[in-house]
Amino acid sequence: MPYKDLREYLKVLESKGLLCHVTAEVDKDWEISAVCRHTFRSIPQERRPALMFDKIKGHDIPLVVGILGGSREIYATALGTDQKGVWDTWARGKNPIPPKLVSSGPCQEVVHLGADANLEMLPAPIWTVGQDPSPYHTSPFVISRDPETRVQNVGTYRLQVKNAHRGGLMINPQRGMRVHMQKNEAKGGATEAAIVFGTDPVIGLTSVSPFPAGVDELAAAGGIRGEAVEVVRCKTVDIDVPATAEIVVEGRIPYLGNEPEGPFGEYAGYMGAGGNNPVFEVTCITHRKNPIYQAFLSQMPPSESSCIKGFGRENEIRRHLVNNLGLPIHDVCLPESGSSTATVLVSMKKQNRFQPQKAMMGIWSMNAGLAKIVVVVDDDINIRDPFQVDWAIAFRMQPADDIRIVPNTDPITLDPSQPLRDGKVLPASEQVSSKLGIDATRKHAYPPPSVPPKEHLEKVASQWDRYGIRPVS
Ligand SMILES: Cc1cc2nc3c(=O)[nH]c(=O)nc-3n(C[C@H](O)[C@H](O)[C@H](O)COP(=O)(O)O)c2cc1C
Ligand SMILES: [Mn+2]
């Protein structure tokens, strides 16, 4: 049975020992960010808990963070499976189940209309204190509707809190919602949106993953859950939102309503300049009784942002390479050092010499602005071990033959290595990148590896105590 809402999921996290309550009162304007950073820096991913800040100074809404992407175990729990089951569970998304419209839902238990709809009632933290201009919502699931097909899109786009009724959205050029805005702008119209916080966890996972344009992420979530997501119509906009959501902020992006947004501490580990970005005017806020607010920890990796992006992108890339292209893929990994964006590692049991290049091109053809570097290795290399990947690059690759550089491709818009123009960062819409592909698979039969026989290594491992060897402390 899928989770029906965030609350049911938090109980499961708690029962598995994966959620830690911070009961001490904290200040959202400096302390939450520093506590999260210390948690992510000091506790390795495999042992990292999600956090629930129960008491926030000046607010009566608790904040949860790390609950979707704190670790691989947390991610698997969000999908209702274990770590081995992630790929099979995710692959169910290829059979979407459209959301089901119902007449009422707990997300509208409390309604604040017009002047009562105060964006500052939510405990959005300041994340990079001293550099971000104001609090930011980092885990909004932004829902908009295609004015022609009426199909909805869900994407996570950060929201700057500018005042009680006004926010600023940063939506990259390739994103699903941009298409809706372009179609509305062509007719001189505004774009309506609903910004959802705190749902059944599968919706959050689909909101941050690169589904093809035109796919409704709520339908993909339905497929993964094996049951339709129930939705209710918003009070002031023509948008359907998950009925059991914790908090829904309704509003509109006025026609050509851009204004300065940012700067913001970004996922690549540097401050991002921000820019002239869409305004979001709040028309209504609805929420459950005693709502729970969700945030993502982003900024410098390691972070929840890079964990969750990595897990979601691995699945989507692998699905494309296997299901659409029929490539013999063994594993796909987006290392966190590349903020799970810049670098993609692929292992495959290649059947002919063209397949490594097909894998590179397959990834670059996806709708995502990622994979500046793709490295393809044979299936005997464990791509989750950086040493093995370096070893493959060192001895299975000839630079003059096995490197591909492709110019004029989609950029990672927050990559600080982008060339400047007149000493300034180019706006996202004008950036262009290039791609690097490294084919580090063997091109012919290789000599055997120079290691002791497997049975000797296994025997030694099984009687390791016999040798009395201890690491230096
Ligand atoms: C924590 C976090 C924050 C994100 N912030 C933004 C953002 O501010 N703007 C943006 O365009 N994409 C952002 N993304 C990436 C998008 O959510 C992601 O590309 C998603 O697939 C977009 O969905 P879409 O293709 O339906 O637009 C963020 C992702 C995460 C995990
Ligand atoms: Mn989309």
Domain map (residue ranges) of the chain: 6-295, 325-440
Q: 6-295 and 325-440 share one CATH topology? A: no
Burial class (CB within 10 angstroms; exposed 0-12, middle 13-18, buried 19+) of 42: exposed
Q: What pLDDT does 87 receive? A: 87
pLDDT tens-place string over residues 161-185: 999 999 999 998 889 999 999 999 9
Distance 176 CA to ligand 1 centre (A): 10
Q: Which amino acid appears at position 95 of this protein?
A: N
Say which CATH topology domain 6-295 has. Answer: Pnp Oxidase; Chain A (2.30.110)
Rounded to the nearest angstrom, the gap between the alpha carbon of residue 398 and the centroid of all alpha carbons in its chain is: 34
Q: Quote the pLDDT of residue 211.
A: 87
The pLDDT score that the predictor gives to residue 368 is: 66
Atom 2 of ligand 1, nearest CA residue = 305
- Residue 288 to residues 5, 75, 83, 113, 445, Cα–Cα distance (Å): 11, 25, 32, 15, 63
Q: Which atom of ligand 1 is nearest to the CA of 153?
A: 26
**Residue 378 CA to ligand 1 centre (angstroms):** 31
DSSP E strand stretches across 81-151: 100-101, 110-113, 136-137, 141-145
Q: Taking the chain, what is the end-to-end CA distance rounded to the nearest angstrom?
A: 48
What is the C-alpha separation between 425 and 412, in angstroms, rounded?
A: 13
What are the DSSP calls for 334-362, one per residue?
--GGGTTTSEEEEEE--SSTTHHHHHHHH
**What residues in the chain have per-residue pLDDT under 50?**
none
Residues with CB under 6 A from ligand 1: 138, 153, 155-158, 170-172, 175-177, 208-210, 296, 298, 305, 308-309
pLDDT of 181 reads 97
CA of 217 to the centre of ligand 2 (A): 6
Per-residue model confidence as pLDDT tens digits over 228-271: 999 999 999 999 999 999 999 999 999 988 999 999 999 989 99
DSSP element (H, E) containing 217: helix 217-225
Residue 258 host element (H or E): strand 258-261
For domain 325-440, say whether CATH 3.40.1670.10 is its number. yes
Mutate to test the pocket of ligand 1, among 175, 218, 264 (most ligand atoms within 8 A of CB): 175
Give the whole-angstrom CA distance, residue 341 versus residue 337. Answer: 9
Q: Residue with the nearest Cα to atom 22 of ligand 1?
A: 155
